[in-house]
Amino acid sequence: MSQMHNQYRDSSKLMARAMLHIKYGPQGKPWSLAGTGLFKADDRVLDIGCGPGRFWAANAAALPPGLDLTLADQSPGLVEEALKNVGTSPWRHVAGKVADVCALPFEAATFDVVTAMHMLYHAPDKDRAVAEIARVLRPRGTLLATTNGATSMQEMNALALEVFGPSPQDLGSGSFSLESGAPILRRHFRAVEVTTKTDILLVTGAEDIVNYVTSFPPGEDADAATVRKFEERLAEKMSAQNGTFPITRIAGYMVAADPV
C-alpha cells in the first residue's frame, strides 16, 4: 500500500493531527466556512477530499437548509466513515463517491459549490485538479479551498526537521498553500479572494506534539531511539518556555468564483 493510501485508509492519522488544533486552538473558532455566507439554500455541493466528514456533521445546524451533498474521497474507508458521520438530516440528499480530484467522475456543470478542505496539496497535478473542479462547477459556481500558509506551524516543523530529517515526500501544504495556490486558481477562475487567519496554539501536552509528528513520515517511520531524541529536545524547549510550546498557525480559505 502506498504511503498516501496508508495515511488516509481511515481517519486515525488525521485525528492525531486534528487533536492538536482541537485541544489548543483559541476558544471559539477563529473562522469557519459555515459562517462565510457562501453556501445558499438548496445548493448542490461536492466535498472533494471529504475525509471523515467532520465539517458537515459539526456545522449542520449552521448551514442553509436543503443542501444536496456529495461526499467524495479517494479512500473508500473515509467515504464510508463520512456517510456515517454526516447522516441524512438536515440534508436534502447525501451521496458518497470514491473519486480522484484529477479525474472527477461527474458531468460538467453539475455543482453550485465545490469544497476542497486542506486537500489540494495532495493532488499529484494541482493544475489539472483545479481544472477538473472548474469543469464540474456550474456557471458562476464557487470553489471554497482551505489550506495553510507557507510558514504555518513553523516552530514544530523546525524541531521535527532537526530530529527526523526531511520527509521523503511532501505531505505538507507547501505545494498548495495560501500563497502558492492562488496563482493556480486564477488560471481557471475569473475571481479569486484569499482570507488568512493567524493564531497561536499554546501546547502544554508534549504527547500531543509527539502524536502529531509521528502520524506521517519521517516521524512515522522513525525508530524508538529517534522518537526518544525528539521527546528529549521537545522537553528542553518546553522547559525553557514555562512548560509550553507555542506554535504559530497560519490558515485560511480561498474563494474562487466564476469558472473559466
Angle between helices 126-136 and 178-186 (to 10 degrees): 50
Whether 63 and 34 have beta carbons less than 8 Å apart is answered as yes
Alpha helix positions (H), 69-205? 76-86, 126-136, 154-164, 178-186
pLDDT surpassing 60 at residue 126: yes
Q: Residues in the chain, how many?
A: 260
Angle of CA points 248, 5, 170, to nearest 5°: 40
Sheet strand arrangement including 245-259: 93-98, 68-73, 44-48, 111-117, 137-148, 245-259, 189-203
pLDDT surpassing 80 at residue 170: no
Amino acid identity of residue 28, one-letter, is G
pLDDT of residue 3: 47
The confidence band for 18, taking pLDDT boundaries of 50, 70 and 90, is confident
Alpha helix positions (H), 8-125? 12-24, 54-59, 76-86
For the chain, the average pLDDT equals 92
Domains and CATH numbers, the chain: 3-151+170-197+251-259 (3.40.50.150)
pLDDT tens per residue across span 179-220: 999 999 999 999 999 999 999 999 999 999 999 999 989 999
pLDDT tens per residue across span 46-91: 999 999 999 999 999 999 999 999 999 999 999 999 999 999 999 9
pTM attached to this predicted model: 0.89
pLDDT of residue 148: 94
Find where cell 479525474 sits. 103
**Quick one: which of 18, 68, 74 has its CA closest to 50?**
74
pLDDT surpassing 90 at residue 10: no
